Structure 1
Amino acid sequence: MKTSSKTQSIAMIGMFTAVLAVLSILQIPMPSGVPITLQTFAVALCGYCLGKKNGTLCVALYLILGFVGVPVFTGMTAGIGKLFGYTGGFLYGFLFLAFFCGLGSQLKNHAVGVLVGVVGLLICHVLGAFHYSVIAATGFGPAFLLVSVPYLVKDVLSIIGALVVALVIKKTLSKSGIILNTKTAA
């Protein structure tokens, strides 16, 4: 990798981490303690735009920033408590979502790319529901019904929307000579 492409990758990871942080601020609180946010869309966008490696690095950087106290999580919160609170499983589950969306971005068939992203989403939801069940001292089934099922349709639509937006972003940047993910079929 050339120095300029390394620099471009670092800049894009930083920029998409900022996008993820900004889209995480807005939330609609829910009685379960798991709010409705645009995080799923933003994480999927990172994966679809940056690919499996850089998209996952972007989410890892986001988690590290929040862990050390930068208020990047929902409602401008931060800290280790968020990673071990009710939503912690979803937060580290985002790594899988970004990775699988990045895998999906490498496919020419966009419908299959969405399905690969949905695999990452399901892993994220299972981790989130399991983590919630441990913290709330409840069974996995009730936790899944409470903190996962109500969000699945929104999250699948977020993945589809993220792929559409990623295709537009990549096409637009490509016209100006910037290639985000060289293994992606646009």
Structure 2
Amino acid sequence: MKISTKTIVTVGMFTAVLAVLSILQIPMPTGVPITLQTFAMALCGYVLGWQLGISATLLYIVLGTVGVPIFAGMSAGPGVLFGYTGGFIFGFIFLTLLCGISVHRKNAAVKIVLGLAGLIICHLLGAIQYAVLAKITLGASLVAVSLPYLVKDVISVVGAYLVAIAVRKALHAGNILQDAKAA
């Protein structure tokens, strides 16, 4: 893959989108807030594909880990990554990856199923890390930090896929991404 200035700027712009949609939050009693992160990560993968999507996601994670306040609620630092919600952040990599892998598939249902598979991995990693740190069972963790968010996150993945169709068409029309044909 050729890395051009346009590619670098596009990855940077999507990293900014991830940051903005992550900062907005509704706090929850479990400590896992409601955010638009799932939508943002899925959109990133569905629009950019797996390589650029992972690049934007990893840049987001690195920036947040080194102290830029771009995680949920403007939090930052390695304490977030290795804290109660960090498993979800690690899971974003798989969500973006599977949404990105789906880009060149023709069947819309396959694209959505791949995105939902990424969502399941994300939730599982989040619940595992939460369970370990909270010293509770995985089942209790899934009930506490996955189940309450599942419907919203499924809607987020499907919504991101639908929005990505229009975004990819616009990026193709603007010659911003060479492979950005309709999602």
Provide the TM-score with structure 1 as the length reference. 0.94
Deviation at 1:177, TM superposition (A): 2.3
Native 8 Å contact 2:47 2:180 kept in 1: no
Displacement of 1:184 in angstroms is: 5.5
Mapping 1:35-54, distance limit 5 Å: 35-54=33-52
RMSD: 1.4
Letter paired with 1:126: L
Which residue matches 2:166?
Answer: 168
Contact residue 105 and residue 184 of structure 1 kept, 8 A: no
Q: Which residue of 2 aligns with 1:19?
A: 17
**Unmatched 5+ stretches in structure 1:** none
Residue equivalent to 1:178: 176
% identity of equivalent residues: 57
Residue ranges of structure 2 left out of the alignment (5+ in a row)? none
2 CA distance for matches of 1:139 and 1:52? 33
What is the CA deviation profile of residues 66-88 of structure 1, one whole-angstrom value per residue up to 9, with x for unaligned ones? Answer: 00000000111100110111100
The letter of the residue matching 2:74 is M
Give 1:89's match in structure 2, choosing from 87, 90, 94: 87
Letter in 1 for 2:140: P
> How many angstroms apart in 1 are the aligned matches of 2:77 and 2:142?
25
Whole-Å separation in 1 of the counterparts to 2:69 and 2:146:
24
Q: 3-state DSSP class of the match of 1:105? A: helix
1:150, distance to aligned residue in structure 2 (A): 1.1
Runs of 4+ off more than 4 Å: none
Task: Report the counterpart of residue 71 of structure 1 in structure 2.
Answer: 69
Aligned length: 183
Cα displacement (A) at 1:185 = 5.2
CA distance in 2, matches of 1:176, 1:27: 32
Deviation at 1:176, TM superposition (A): 2.3
